[in-house]
Amino acid sequence: MPCGTAELSPGGRGRPTVPVSSCWKNEFSAAFPAETLANAGIASIVRRENIPTGGTKMNQNELIAEMRNEALAGWNEGGIPIGGLLVRRGEIVARGHNRRIQSGDPVLHGEIDTLRNAGRHPASFYRECVIYTSLSPCVMCTGAILLYKIPEVVVGEEVNFRGETDLLRARGVKVTILDDPELIELMARYIRENPAAWNEDIAE
């Protein structure tokens, strides 16, 4: 699709979806006014089709935007909207999102999908990484972070779910909580509309 045009991606489970575009957010806004995004119910989060992985150094705001992109990818696939990135020296080396529903894999949380997508690396590799996750990590994902001695975690929000950030801090991991309003809104809506799937995800 040419830059400057866009279309609404098909929604899963009858839910409205936000527009999908290969253009940057400001170009997209010209095609779809703010009220269209508001009617979609996901504020202004936009999923881009052409997304960088590796070879491009990014600042914090750009990395946070890419974490949102992964959460939104899960939403648009009919899954749980939790996204993750593995970042080394400012470059994204892997990305992923919760795909439990899509794949039928009970352990494929966003952080686990991200680590799987990173492939095999020596232990020293992970000690230079930061993992970004749009929702506070559960005990399983926290265990993976600790196992690979990833020294820093950036959490999009923990309003909707308070994971194991205290445990991470107790083990010497630097934890930054963003409480990003768009991620809070996205996750809250999913939980309201899909309580059974959410409870299954957190084993309750």
Helix (H) / strand (E) element for 164: namely: none
Q: 60-76 vs 181-193: helix axis angle to the nearest 10?
A: 20
Q: Answer whether 165's CB lies under 8 Å from 155's CB.
A: yes
Q: Which of 111, 157, 164, 182 is catalytic?
A: 111
Our answer to whether residue 193 is catalytic in this structure is no
Rounded distance, CA 66 to CA 45, Å? 10
Residue 47 burial (CB count, 10 A): 21
Rounded distance, CA 71 to CA 80, Å? 8
Q: Report the candidate in 97, 132, 91 with the shortest Cα–Cα distance to residue 112.
A: 97
Catalytic residues: 111
